[in-house]
Chains A and B, each alone.
Chain A
Amino acid sequence: DTAVSQTPKYLVTQMGNDKSIKCEQNLGHDTMYWYKQDSKKFLKIMFSYNNKELIINETVPNRFSPKSPDKAHLNLHINSLELGDSAVYFCASSHPRTGGSYNEQFFGPGTRLTVL
């Protein structure tokens, strides 16, 4: 029944570790996104994939690497975690409508990452 799901919901780890967050959508959408929401609640786009192809790559450290094995999945791998990476990470998906990119986006429940 879940539209966009993420695992894990909480992730607590030490500085320097490598971790992954997984995202899956069962909406049949072509496009998936990763967002970061910081402590001030700003939601900022990091990456976007359309049909497994990277289309948005914002100014994000190259320690962050998205991977899309198929159009229903978009995972986020983070190397050498730093304190500043602590945030809530949201996955989202959308399907552009014909005649324009309306892009109503459907968000997952978020993954709260805490780096100690």
Chain B
Amino acid sequence: SQKIEQNSEALNIQEGKTATLTCNYTNYSPAYLQWYRQDPGRGPVFLLLIRENEKEKRKERLKVTFDTTLKQSLFHITASQPADSATYLCALLGRGNTGKLIFGQGTTLQVKP
């Protein structure tokens, strides 16, 4: 069955450093991969989308890579700030128009000042 794995352990880093979060998947060939941010007590918020034929996508301090051979996506936050502390979810989207997203369990990032 389809499986998405994100590091369940919290990631603690110092302000100003680059945070790197990993998303691995098996038994799936997604057409798109999305990253969302979720703060406690709130719904997820869309951050970035990358297509299967794209290697890298950037948006301000965020960078996402997508390696369909390794079945892995890396999510980077450069010059991290305490306000970046949150849980980050990766989600896979297949072909077709159903919009069915399969989410990982998320990785909690804590940026310390």
Instruction: Point out the residue from B41, B96, B103, B105 that lies within 8 Å of A101, measured CB to CB.
Output: B96
Q: How far is the CB of A20 from chain B (nearest CB, A)?
A: 19
How far does the alpha carbon of A90 sit from the alpha carbon of B46 in the complex, in Å? 14
Q: Which residue of B lies closest to A45 (CB)?
A: B100
Number of interface residues of A (CB under 8 A): 28
> Which residues between 36 and 64 of chain B lie within 8 Å of chain A, taking CB atoms?
41-46, 49, 51
How far does the alpha carbon of A94 sit from the alpha carbon of B102 in the complex, in Å? 15
Q: Contacts of A103 on B, CB cut-off 8 Å?
A: 32, 34, 93, 99, 101
Contact present for B99 and A105 (CB under 8 Å): yes
Size bin of chain B's contact surface: 20 to 34
0/1 interface trace, chain B 1-44, chain A, CB 8 Å (1 if under): 00000000000000000000000000000011010000001111
B98 contacts A by Cβ under 8 Å = yes
0/1 interface trace, chain B 69-113, chain A, CB 8 Å (1 if under): 000000000000000000101000101111111110110000000
Contact present for A43 and B34 (CB under 8 Å): no
Instruction: Point out the residue from B45, B99, B100 that lies within 8 Å of A107, measured CB to CB.
Output: B45
Q: How far is the CB of B9 from chain A (nearest CB, A)?
A: 13
Known: A31-B99, A56-B98. A102 touches B32 (CB 8 A): yes
- Interface, chain B (partner A; CB < 8 A): 31-32, 34, 41-46, 49, 51, 87, 89, 93, 95-103, 105-106
